[in-house]
Structure 1
Amino acid sequence: MAFAKVALVVVSVLLICVVLLQSGRSAGLSGAITGGSDQAANRRPKGTDSFLAKVTVVIAVLFFIVTLGIAYLNAHPGVHL
């Protein structure tokens, strides 16, 4: 159980770091006020943005798997993995 909790903390920190490394979709607050949909509609991630987007998905899936595992272990205290 302790290993799963440590793994959750590590995966959480990795997820935060990868999200913070990504570039924004619009130019700050002005994109939110004016909508910004005309610029972001046809934009496809390139280079490191594409790589970071894929890594984010993988780490997010890992985060949910570890979280569900911890929830299962808390619901079934007699189970030891």
Structure 2
Amino acid sequence: MLKIIVLIIHIIVSLFMMAVILLQQGKSAGISGAIAGGAETFFGKNKARTMEGTLERLTTISAVVFIITSLILTLLMGK
């Protein structure tokens, strides 16, 4: 029963992580992005409050939960 619950959580988290990753913008914008990108990171003090910062935080959290559920499923399959 526990294995089924963890597997369902694992599938939901993986689908959520795919959606969050696909919603993010690309980091490389060519040579113009390299020149203008420095100003964005220097002046972007409130990046965590933007949509991009929120998506990055959600990606990190979902990746950690994905790894934890993967390890739990590995341990449960061994029994």
TM-score by length of 2: 0.74
Flag the structure with higher helix content: 2
Judged with a 3 Å threshold, the aligned counterparts in structure 2 of structure 1 residues 39 and 64 are, in CA distance, closer, same or farther, namely farther
Task: Give 1:56's aligned residue.
Answer: 59
Where relative contact order (Cα < 8 A, 6+ residues apart) is larger, the structure is: 2
Percent of residue pairs bearing the same amino acid type: 29
Q: Aligned match of 1:11 in 7, 10, 13?
A: 13
How far residue 38 of structure 1 moved from its aligned partner, in angstroms, is: 2.6
Retained in 2: the 8 A contact 1:8–1:63? Answer: yes
Match of 1:72 among 29, 54, 75: 75
Q: How many residues of Structure 1 are paired with residues of Structure 2 in the alignment?
A: 70
Q: CA RMSD in A?
A: 2.3
Unaligned runs of 5+ in 2: none
Q: TM-score, normalised by structure 1?
A: 0.72
Distance 1:60 1:2 in 2: 20
CA distance in 1, matches of 2:77, 2:36: 42
Measure, in 2, the Cα distance between the counterparts of 1:63 and 1:40.
34
**1:32-81 Cα distance to aligned partner (Å, 9 max, x none):** xx6x7834863547311011101110010000000000001112x1xxxx
Q: What are the ranges of 5 or more consecutive residues in structure 1 without an aligned counterpart?
A: none
